[in-house]
Structures are given as C-alpha cells and as structure tokens.
Amino acid sequence: MADERVLPLSLLFDDDFSENPYATYAELRAEGPVHRIDFPPGAEAFLVVDYEHARTAMNDPRLSKDPVHSSIPVDAAQYFAGTMLSMDPPDHTRLRGLVVKAFTSRRMEALRPHIQQITDRLLDEMADRAKAEGSVDLMEALAVPLPIQVICELLGVPPGDRKRFREWTAVLTVPALTPEAQERRRETARAFGGYLLGIVAERRAEPRDDLVTALVQARDGDAALDDTEMLNTIRLLLIAGHETTVNLIGNGTLALLTDPAQAALLRERPDLLPSAIEELLRYDPPIERATQRIAIQDMEIAGTRIPRGAWVHIVLASAGRDSTAFDDSGTLDITRDSNRHLAFGHGMHFCLGAPLARLEGQIAIGSLLNRFPGLTLAVPPEELRHHNNGSILRGLTSLPVMP
C-alpha cells in the first residue's frame, strides 16, 4: 500500500516532470501501485501506476466514467460530457453499438491510399522548406496537419475549415482551471457544436460517402443517434482522432531519432512497421493518463481504500514502463512480441479509432524514414519541450529536424 502522503496537483504542471515523467513514475511504482493526488483539488483522488492494476481498473464496473458520481461538483463539459468517454452501460453499450456500424475497418482501410497521398505531399513540402531553411519543425510540417486532414476528410469537413478545427481542439483538450479558461472553453464548445450541427443537417439533406452520413444513417432496429448524440460523437472523434495521432507521430519519431540503431533497423526491415508502432505506443504513449474513472462505491485497489466519489487516474505511460509486464521496459525494441500495452485502453472503452491511428502512424513514420534516410534532430534532445498544461495528452511543442 502507498503511504498517506498526497501528491500535489503541481506535480502535473512541473517542467521537469513534463520532460521526463518516467523517472517519477518508476519511483512511484517502487513505492506501490496506488498513490493519492490532489487532483481534482478538493476531491479524494488516486493515481494507478502499475500495469496489472491499471489494466484491471480500466474495465472495473465499480469505476464509472460519468462525472456525476464525483464527490465534489465538477464542470462535466471538461470531461467529455455526453460522449462515450463519460458513459457507462447501458447508455455506453447502445451508443457504441451504433457508432461501430459507421466506424468500420473497411472504411478505415479504404483511406490508406489517400493517407499516403497526403503524407507524400506533406513530405514534399517538408523537403522544400528544409532545402530553403536548413531545418524544419516536424510537428508543424507533418505530425499536426496529417491527422487533421485525415479526420476532416473522413468526416467530410471542407479544407477551408480545418485550421479552425485545430484551434478548437487545442482549447477543448486542456483542463480549464481558471474562470477565464472555463468561459473560453464554453465559448469554443458552442462554436464547435454549432458548426458540427450544420454539417449533420447538410448530410441529412444530401448524403455523401463520409463518416457523418454513415452516423446519420446508423440504425439498430428503431434506434438511431439523436442530434445531441451525433454532435457529441463527432466532437469526440475529431478530438480523439486528431490530438492523439499528432502525439503518436511526434513522440514516435523522437524515440527513433534518439535511438539510431532502432531507426536503422526499421529502415532495413519495413515489415517491422506494425510492431514498431505498437512499441512506440508503449514506450512513450500519446495519452499519458486515461480519461477519468470515479468510484461508485467504496472499494480497494491493491490494498488502498478508494472511497465512493473518489477519482481514479490510470497512468498509461507508467503502466507501459512496468518491468513486471515488459522485459527491459525502459528500452525501445521494435521487435518486441506480445506487446499488450494499454495506449488504446482496455475493455469496453477500448479506442474505436485505434485502427485509424495505427494506419496513420505506420504510413507517416514509415514514409518519413524512407524518404529521409539521413533524418536527424536539429537541436539537442534536452532542448525539446513537451506541453505542460495538465492535459491527459503527452506531446511535443515542436520537433526541429534536418532531413
């Protein structure tokens, strides 16, 4: 059992922690699998940092996704209110069943040629910019624009609106801890929602071959998505389908550039791309902590009492480095077999967009290494910075490279 100390909220906003949370997580795992933390402030809350209990907790029916169960009042809009990420069965089961009918593997795989075309064009532009300037920010050149173009293409969003989507999602994925930030988030959510409802109305009037039309037409007997469910589902797909893949490409590329032997092996053996993406997801995942779980009854995790209404934060980044679950857990190994990482979650809330994220990661990173065999960092690794805003996401602010 962990001791009675309470980890401060400031831990999640500490610069040194943001740059290397893995050292702290290793220390916490050595002390115990569960630790109290002051987040949200005023609530009893806990971090689960080992693999075994993290995996079990992700599918524990005593842990709800609905913030209504919180022991303190919270702004539910900050926690994906109305989406599958804040629902429990039976509502979650019904909604996921309808969305699955639209989010098919066939639809995802059909995107492969188009994703490759987008990637090739972005890499052409990256090469031209590097020729003129010497170096280029990989986040700006590839990691950010590729996923937003793909998810907007999937949803049928016009190219002229994609910059706004990036701005909206940047606001909606960061905790709003001040009144000013909360008001900005509410205004952003209203603008985002109004725009998305306009797209839904267009697709009802004029169906197209895109995901919004498929969601409009999804049926399970007489059941269908209402406007609110449609709006929340599209909002979730845009945010989850964009921000996480941005970080997968950025974090994954950095991991390979700081381990040249692994990068060289992947260039020699492109057949390793699928296992390489799984290893990159384990080694430095795009989501550091899973979305909220709240205890609906008094319970225990690893001998630690979790009272009803307490928040449980499952640390995916720590679970992926747990040496009891992965041999040489601190080493990047793209040949790793049976990689049962938790980067996409586990159980009923396993990420619906996992096939698309894997596909984008394979195409983006594989094409990048193949196109630029001499790709290197343009700055020392210690000069790179990760976003430090308390978000559950883990990603770089920039990644300067020289092709």
The one-character DSSP state at 9 is G
Position 174 scores a pLDDT of: 67
In whole angstroms, what is the distance from residue 243 CA to residue 363 CA? 17
In whole angstroms, what is the distance from residue 368 CA to residue 65 CA? 38
Position 149 scores a pLDDT of: 86
Q: Map out the domains of the chain with their CATH numbers.
A: 6-402 (1.10.630.10)
Position 1 scores a pLDDT of: 44
Residue 105: Cβ-neighbour burial (10 angstroms; 0-12, 13-18, 19+): exposed
Residue 284: Cβ-neighbour burial (10 angstroms; 0-12, 13-18, 19+): buried
Looking at the DSSP bridge assignments, the partners of residue 40 are none
H helix count then E strand count, the chain = 16, 11
Could you list the beta-strand ranges (E) of 128-220. 136-137
Lookup: tokens for 109: 């795989």
Could you list the beta-strand ranges (E) of 115-235. 136-137
Position 62 scores a pLDDT of: 97
In whole angstroms, what is the distance from residue 329 CA to residue 157 CA? 40
Q: Give the contacts of 110 (CB within 8 A, at least 6 positions apart).
A: none
The one-character DSSP state at 310 is -
9, 37 contact by CB (below 8 A): yes
Q: What is the pLDDT along the chain (403 residues), one digit of tens a residue?
A: 444 789 998 888 888 898 999 999 999 999 999 999 998 888 999 999 999 999 999 999 999 999 999 999 887 766 777 788 889 999 888 888 878 877 777 777 888 999 999 999 999 999 999 999 999 999 999 999 998 888 888 877 788 887 887 788 778 766 676 888 888 988 998 898 888 888 888 998 999 888 888 888 887 677 788 888 888 888 787 777 778 899 999 999 999 999 999 999 999 999 999 999 999 999 999 999 999 999 999 999 999 999 999 999 999 999 999 999 999 999 999 999 989 999 999 999 998 888 889 999 999 999 999 999 999 999 999 999 998 877 788 999 999 999 9
Query: Of 189, 139, 194, which Cα lies nearest the Cα of 169?
Result: 189
315, 47 contact by CB (below 8 A): yes
49, 33 contact by CB (below 8 A): yes
The rounded Cα 237 to chain-centroid distance in angstroms is 11
- Which long-range contacts link 328-331 to residues 24+ away (Cβ below 8 Å)? 330/22
Position 134 scores a pLDDT of: 92
Angle (CA) 341-70-314 rounded to 5° is 15
57, 312 contact by CB (below 8 A): yes
Ranges of H-type helices in 338-377: 354-371
Q: Which helix (H) or strand (E) holds 48?
A: strand 45-48
Work out the end-to-end distance of the chain between its first and last CA atoms, rounded to an integer number of angstroms: 49
Cβ count near 198 (within 10 Å): 10
Cβ count near 320 (within 10 Å): 25
Lookup: tokens for 266: 């992947």
295, 63 contact by CB (below 8 A): yes
Sign (positive/negative) of CA torsion 258, 259, 264, 269?
Answer: negative
Q: Assess whether the previous peptide bond of 90 is cis (omega < 30° from 0).
A: yes
Cβ count near 142 (within 10 Å): 27
In whole angstroms, what is the distance from residue 201 CA to residue 205 CA? 6
